[in-house]
Copies of this chain bind each other. A is one copy, B any other.
Amino acid sequence: MKIGELAQQTGLTRSRIRFYEQIGLLKTVERRPNGYRTYPPQAVMILGLITTAQRAGFTLDEIRTLLPSDLTHWDHAALMEALTRKIADIEALQLRLPQSRAHLLRLIEDIQERPDDMDCAANAHRVLTNMLAEHPEALDVTAGDIRLLDTKDRRQSVSPGHRKKTASR
Protein backbone atom coordinates (compact mmCIF):
# COMPACT_ATOMS: atom_id res chain seq x y z
CA MET A 1 0.00 0.00 0.00
CA LYS A 2 1.33 3.44 -0.93
CA ILE A 3 1.11 6.39 1.42
CA GLY A 4 -1.87 7.94 -0.33
CA GLU A 5 -3.97 4.87 0.14
CA LEU A 6 -2.92 4.50 3.76
CA ALA A 7 -3.83 8.12 4.33
CA GLN A 8 -7.23 7.53 2.85
CA GLN A 9 -7.89 4.39 4.86
CA THR A 10 -6.87 5.95 8.15
CA GLY A 11 -8.18 9.45 7.56
CA LEU A 12 -4.78 10.90 8.41
CA THR A 13 -2.81 13.22 6.19
CA ARG A 14 0.25 11.99 4.30
CA SER A 15 2.39 14.50 6.11
CA ARG A 16 1.24 13.20 9.44
CA ILE A 17 2.08 9.63 8.50
CA ARG A 18 5.53 10.68 7.30
CA PHE A 19 5.95 12.65 10.51
CA TYR A 20 5.17 9.62 12.63
CA GLU A 21 7.78 7.68 10.72
CA GLN A 22 10.27 10.49 11.17
CA ILE A 23 9.97 10.49 14.95
CA GLY A 24 10.31 6.73 15.03
CA LEU A 25 6.70 6.02 15.86
CA LEU A 26 5.69 4.14 12.74
CA LYS A 27 8.28 1.59 11.73
CA THR A 28 6.38 -0.77 9.44
CA VAL A 29 7.40 0.83 6.19
CA GLU A 30 9.59 -0.30 3.34
CA ARG A 31 10.71 1.31 0.12
CA ARG A 32 9.97 0.36 -3.44
CA PRO A 33 12.78 0.51 -5.96
CA ASN A 34 11.57 3.96 -7.00
CA GLY A 35 11.85 5.31 -3.46
CA TYR A 36 8.14 5.29 -2.71
CA ARG A 37 7.10 4.16 0.76
CA THR A 38 5.08 0.97 0.95
CA TYR A 39 3.10 -0.21 3.94
CA PRO A 40 1.69 -3.57 5.03
CA PRO A 41 -2.07 -3.71 5.67
CA GLN A 42 -1.19 -3.89 9.38
CA ALA A 43 -0.20 -0.24 9.25
CA VAL A 44 -3.84 0.77 9.25
CA MET A 45 -4.30 -0.87 12.62
CA ILE A 46 -1.13 0.64 14.01
CA LEU A 47 -2.19 4.12 13.03
CA GLY A 48 -5.62 3.45 14.50
CA LEU A 49 -3.93 2.48 17.73
CA ILE A 50 -1.82 5.57 17.73
CA THR A 51 -4.71 7.96 17.29
CA THR A 52 -6.78 6.08 19.84
CA ALA A 53 -3.99 6.26 22.37
CA GLN A 54 -3.59 9.95 21.61
CA ARG A 55 -7.24 10.62 22.27
CA ALA A 56 -6.88 8.73 25.53
CA GLY A 57 -4.32 11.30 26.60
CA PHE A 58 -1.03 9.62 25.74
CA THR A 59 1.67 11.72 24.15
CA LEU A 60 3.42 10.49 21.02
CA ASP A 61 6.47 9.98 23.16
CA GLU A 62 4.65 7.72 25.57
CA ILE A 63 3.07 5.85 22.69
CA ARG A 64 6.45 5.30 21.13
CA THR A 65 7.89 3.73 24.22
CA LEU A 66 4.83 1.53 24.66
CA LEU A 67 4.17 0.48 21.08
CA PRO A 68 6.28 -2.49 19.94
CA SER A 69 7.35 -2.47 16.32
CA ASP A 70 5.87 -5.92 16.15
CA LEU A 71 2.27 -5.68 17.25
CA THR A 72 2.47 -9.12 18.78
CA HIS A 73 5.25 -8.38 21.25
CA TRP A 74 3.98 -5.97 23.85
CA ASP A 75 5.71 -5.16 27.07
CA HIS A 76 2.82 -6.21 29.27
CA ALA A 77 4.24 -4.74 32.44
CA ALA A 78 4.94 -1.31 30.97
CA LEU A 79 1.62 -1.26 29.19
CA MET A 80 -0.28 -2.14 32.32
CA GLU A 81 1.54 0.46 34.31
CA ALA A 82 0.80 3.14 31.76
CA LEU A 83 -2.86 2.23 31.58
CA THR A 84 -3.11 2.13 35.34
CA ARG A 85 -1.45 5.48 35.66
CA LYS A 86 -3.77 6.97 33.09
CA ILE A 87 -6.74 5.69 35.03
CA ALA A 88 -5.36 7.25 38.17
CA ASP A 89 -5.02 10.56 36.32
CA ILE A 90 -8.61 10.35 35.23
CA GLU A 91 -9.74 9.59 38.75
CA ALA A 92 -7.82 12.52 40.12
CA LEU A 93 -9.49 14.73 37.59
CA GLN A 94 -12.88 13.26 38.45
CA LEU A 95 -12.34 14.38 42.00
CA ARG A 96 -11.40 17.90 41.03
CA LEU A 97 -13.97 18.65 38.40
CA PRO A 98 -17.00 18.88 40.69
CA GLN A 99 -15.06 21.25 42.92
CA SER A 100 -14.08 23.45 40.03
CA ARG A 101 -17.58 23.44 38.72
CA ALA A 102 -18.99 24.35 42.13
CA HIS A 103 -16.48 27.08 42.46
CA LEU A 104 -17.37 28.59 39.12
CA LEU A 105 -21.04 28.44 39.99
CA ARG A 106 -20.37 30.13 43.26
CA LEU A 107 -18.45 32.80 41.43
CA ILE A 108 -21.39 33.43 39.12
CA GLU A 109 -23.80 33.66 42.01
CA ASP A 110 -21.43 35.89 43.86
CA ILE A 111 -21.29 38.28 40.95
CA GLN A 112 -25.04 38.38 40.51
CA GLU A 113 -25.85 38.75 44.16
CA ARG A 114 -24.63 42.29 44.30
CA PRO A 115 -26.29 44.10 47.22
CA ASP A 116 -28.55 46.87 45.95
CA ASP A 117 -26.61 49.43 47.85
CA MET A 118 -23.27 48.47 46.36
CA ASP A 119 -21.93 49.87 43.11
CA CYS A 120 -20.21 47.83 40.47
CA ALA A 121 -16.73 48.82 41.47
CA ALA A 122 -17.17 47.82 45.08
CA ASN A 123 -18.92 44.64 44.02
CA ALA A 124 -16.09 43.74 41.69
CA HIS A 125 -13.63 44.24 44.49
CA ARG A 126 -15.74 42.17 46.86
CA VAL A 127 -16.01 39.29 44.39
CA LEU A 128 -12.36 39.35 43.51
CA THR A 129 -11.24 39.45 47.08
CA ASN A 130 -13.54 36.57 47.90
CA MET A 131 -12.27 34.57 44.99
CA LEU A 132 -8.59 35.09 45.54
CA ALA A 133 -9.08 34.34 49.22
CA GLU A 134 -10.42 30.87 48.50
CA HIS A 135 -8.24 27.86 48.18
CA PRO A 136 -5.99 28.79 45.30
CA GLU A 137 -6.44 25.33 43.86
CA ALA A 138 -10.22 25.47 43.90
CA LEU A 139 -10.35 26.44 40.28
CA ASP A 140 -7.45 24.28 39.27
CA VAL A 141 -8.68 21.89 36.63
CA THR A 142 -5.38 20.06 36.35
CA ALA A 143 -4.50 16.73 37.89
CA GLY A 144 -1.12 15.08 37.92
CA ASP A 145 -0.16 14.21 34.43
CA ILE A 146 -3.38 15.58 33.04
CA ARG A 147 -4.41 19.08 32.22
CA LEU A 148 -7.26 20.95 30.65
CA LEU A 149 -6.56 23.02 27.63
CA ASP A 150 -8.21 24.90 24.86
CA THR A 151 -8.25 22.99 21.61
CA LYS A 152 -9.30 25.68 19.13
CA ASP A 153 -9.06 24.20 15.65
CA ARG A 154 -6.58 21.46 16.41
CA ARG A 155 -8.92 18.67 15.25
CA GLN A 156 -8.68 17.39 11.70
CA SER A 157 -8.43 20.14 9.20
CA VAL A 158 -10.46 18.67 6.35
CA SER A 159 -10.10 21.46 3.87
CA PRO A 160 -6.71 23.09 3.72
CA GLY A 161 -8.80 26.04 4.70
CA HIS A 162 -8.16 29.69 4.99
CA ARG A 163 -5.40 30.30 7.47
CA LYS A 164 -6.15 32.53 10.38
CA LYS A 165 -3.58 35.00 11.52
CA THR A 166 -3.92 35.02 15.29
CA ALA A 167 -2.79 38.60 15.19
CA SER A 168 -1.48 38.98 18.69
CA ARG A 169 -0.91 42.57 19.48
Residue ranges of A at the interface with B (Cβ–Cβ < 8 Å): 22-24, 45, 48-49, 52-53, 55-59, 61-62, 71-74, 76, 79-80, 83-84, 86-87, 89-91, 93-94, 97-98, 100-101, 104-105, 107-108, 111, 120-121, 124-125, 128, 131-132, 136-137, 139-142, 145-152, 166-169
Contacts and interface: CB of A to CB of B under 8 A. Distances in A.
Nearest to A84: B108
Given A87-B101, A120-B73, A147 B145 contact: no
Contacts of A61: 166, 168
A142 B151 CA distance: 9
Contacts of A45: 128, 132
Copies in the complex: 2
Contact of A97 (B93, B105, B147, B166): B93
Contacts of A84: 108
A142 B55 contact: yes
A74 B125 CA distance: 11
